[in-house]
Amino acid sequence: MIIKDQVINKAGIPLLKQLLHVTSASQKLTASNISNVSVPGYQSKSIDFKNEMQAALKKKNIELVVTNERHMPPANRPKGVKVLADMDDSNASGVNNVDIDREMADLSENQILYSYGARMITRNFNNLKAVIRGKR
């Protein structure tokens, strides 16, 4: 586990993994809000990105015990993110509270964050590969 502690964790890969997880969940919620824009009474949903990422920074990892040296270490899957329902009825459409302009802006912002996270995690793994191959 020295490699995991000294290389993977210090490279920020777990945090980038959480970034991808949160932005993926946010993308799904935003798409759901957009698809339900004309459904009467539908309440838009969102994720508090800042709180989710702060929780990931504070989270302590609990290591699982491997009972046989031939077993692969377990993958730590991120837990579900907290979904917030927007109870604000200020949308003038009269159908529901989904603001399509805000949803499209959220979709664009989320895409930028996801692309950044994917690019950074790819860069980290490429750097690790280069070090392993002795090119750095």
Tokens matching residue 114: 């996801």
Q: pLDDT band for position 77 (50/70/90)? A: very low
Q: pLDDT band for position 108 (50/70/90)? A: very high
Per-residue pLDDT tens for 33-42?
Answer: 999 888 888 8
CA-to-CA distance for 129 and 136, rounded, in angstroms? 9
Q: How far is CA 91 from CA 46, 83, 102, in A?
A: 16, 20, 11
What is the pLDDT, as a whole number, of residue 62?
47
What is the pLDDT, as a whole number, of residue 38?
87
What is the CB neighbour count within 10 angstroms for residue 88? 10
Reported pTM: 0.71
Read off the pLDDT of each residue in 70-82 and give the average, rounded to a whole number. Answer: 61
